[in-house]
Amino acid sequence: MTYHTTKRGGSRFRIFGEVIAELKKAVWLSKREVAYLTIIVLIVCIIAGLALGFIDIGFADFASKFFLGG
């Protein structure tokens, strides 16, 4: 990997051109792939949320019984 040194006298807006050039090199997903991966992420988030919710309820019940004797 090479690093370029920039001169102070250079164009201040050259970075925008470089960013656009790098974005053109990127491999973009198709709409179908984006939709599929979005659905997968939502499903995983819902499952993780439910699992953590049940664990939280279990710990709250345990703490209530253990510490409060209820």
The pLDDT value recorded for residue 36 is: 98
The pLDDT value recorded for residue 49 is: 98
The pLDDT value recorded for residue 68 is: 84
Q: Is residue 36 part of a domain?
A: yes
Q: Is residue 16 part of a domain?
A: no
Q: Is residue 13 part of a domain?
A: no
Q: What domain count does the chain have? A: 1
Q: Is residue 8 part of a domain?
A: no
User: How far apart are the C-alpha atoms of 62 and 60, rounded to whole Å?
Assistant: 5
Q: Is residue 42 part of a domain?
A: yes
User: How far apart are the C-alpha atoms of 54 and 37, rounded to whole Å?
Assistant: 26
Quick: pLDDT tens for 1-60: 566 555 554 577 889 999 999 999 999 999 999 999 999 999 999 999 999 999 999 999
Sign of CA dihedral 4, 6, 11, 15: positive
Q: Is residue 62 part of a domain?
A: yes
The number of residues making up the chain comes to: 70
Domain of 54 in residue numbering reads as 28-68
Q: Is residue 4 part of a domain?
A: no
User: How far apart are the C-alpha atoms of 14 and 7, rounded to whole Å?
Assistant: 11
Q: Is residue 35 part of a domain?
A: yes
